[in-house]
């Protein structure tokens, strides 16, 4: 039978159509995910604003009135996980970088607020600043990420603020300048104003900042006993 060239062309167009559908569906879901992250981010922004307003009132009110801090931590963590996942899986989507920049600003704002609350009300939350790089294959950064996730699960009152060193953001540049973070010494951690560079295990971070244990004591005294005996 002679080849029907028209058929080859028609099938080519159908196949291209199917691939375009696959691409379209992928974009549709990517957009939905970006929208979901935007929604979280907007809520987070409102919550931080609310916390700031609450803090402004603190001089007149008791420190016990500080509510919603835990929710804020959870929202920050959720957004961090989603942005990190999207960075890996929605490569080439410009919205992700934009979200990440905005998220970093929110982190800085929340960090400053946490510091103020801590000064005013005594240590309530322990902030950890974590600087990593995506410009190169940084295995130590990946490992440090696992450690900080585990720490976050262990101590809910721990506030981990992660920053991509390579993100083009003036506020972040200022933060890098203040803490003298160098790209050759990543990952870098600022644990309660103490700077350490390179990879650190859970135990090393716990030793570095005894306040972490106190946070655990506050959260779950029974578990702490077990932890301390270990």
Partner 1 sequence: MSLFLILFYTFSFLAVYVQVFLLVTFFENRKKIFIRSEGITLQNYPGVTIIVPCYNEENVVTLTVDSLLGLQYPKDKLKIIIVDDGSKDKTWTVVQKYKNNPQVILLKKENGGKHTALNLGLEHATSEFVGCLDSDSSVHPEALKRIITFFDNQEVMAVAPSIIIRDPKNILQYAQRAEYDMAHYTKKMLAFLEGIHVTPGPFSIFRKEIFEVMGPYRKAHHTEDQEIALRMHKYGFRIEHCPDAYVYTGGPASVPKLFRQRVRWIYGFIQNVRDYKGLFFRPQYGYIGMFTLPSGIISICGTMFLLVFMVNQLYNFVTRKILQAQVVGFDPFANLHVTLDPFFINTRAFLFVSIILYILVIVSLLNGRRMIYGRKVLSWDIFLFIIVYTILAPFWLMKAVWNAIFTKEPSWTLERDYSLKKL
Q: Which residues bind partner 1 (CB under 8 A)?
A: 1-3, 7-8, 10-12, 14-15, 18-19, 21-23, 25-26, 29-30, 33, 36, 81-82, 85, 89-91, 139, 142-143, 146-147, 149-150, 153, 201-202
- By DSSP bridging, strand 188-191 and strand 126-132 are antiparallel
91 versus 194: smaller Cβ distance to partner 1: 91
Among 73, 99, 209, which Cα is nearest to 164's?
Answer: 99
CB of residue 25 to partner 1, shortest distance in Å: 5
CB of residue 207 to partner 1, shortest distance in Å: 16
Partners of 132 in the β-ladder = 164
171 versus 202: smaller Cβ distance to partner 1: 202
113 versus 128: smaller Cβ distance to partner 1: 128
Q: Up-side HSE of residue 177: CA atoms within 13 Å toward CB?
A: 6
CB of residue 77 to partner 1, shortest distance in Å: 10
CB of residue 40 to partner 1, shortest distance in Å: 10
Provide φ and ψ at 127, rounded to 5°: -90, 140
Are 102 and 41 spatial neighbours (Cβ–Cβ below 8 Å)?
Answer: yes
115 versus 154: smaller Cβ distance to partner 1: 154
CA distance 226 to 230: 6
């Amino acid at each position: 039978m002679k080849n029907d060239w028209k058929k080859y062309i028609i099938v080519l167009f159908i196949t291209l159509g199917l691939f375009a559908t696959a691409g379209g569906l992928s974009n549709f879901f990517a957009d939905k995910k970006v929208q979901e992250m935007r929604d979280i981010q907007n809520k987070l922004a409102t919550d931080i604003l609310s916390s700031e307003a609450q803090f402004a009132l603190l001089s007149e009110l008791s420190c016990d009135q500080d509510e919603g801090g835990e929710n804020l931590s959870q929202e920050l963590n959720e957004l961090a996980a989603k942005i990190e996942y999207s960075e890996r899986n929605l490569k080439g989507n410009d919205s992700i970088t934009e979200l990440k920049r905005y998220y970093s600003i929110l982190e800085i704002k929340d960090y400053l607020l946490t510091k103020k609350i801590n000064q005013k009300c005594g240590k309530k939350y322990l902030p950890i600043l974590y600087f990593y790089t995506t410009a190169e294959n940084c295995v130590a950064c990946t490992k440090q990420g696992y450690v900080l996730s585990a720490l976050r699960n262990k101590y809910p009152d721990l506030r981990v603020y992660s920053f991509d060193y390579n993100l083009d953001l003036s506020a972040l540049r200022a933060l890098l300048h203040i803490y003298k973070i160098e790209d050759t010494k990543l990952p870098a951690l600022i644990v309660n104003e103490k700077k350490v560079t390179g990879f650190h295990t859970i135990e090393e971070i716990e030793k570095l900042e005894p306040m972490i244990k106190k946070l655990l004591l506050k959260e779950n005294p029974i578990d702490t006993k077990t932890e301390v005996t270990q």
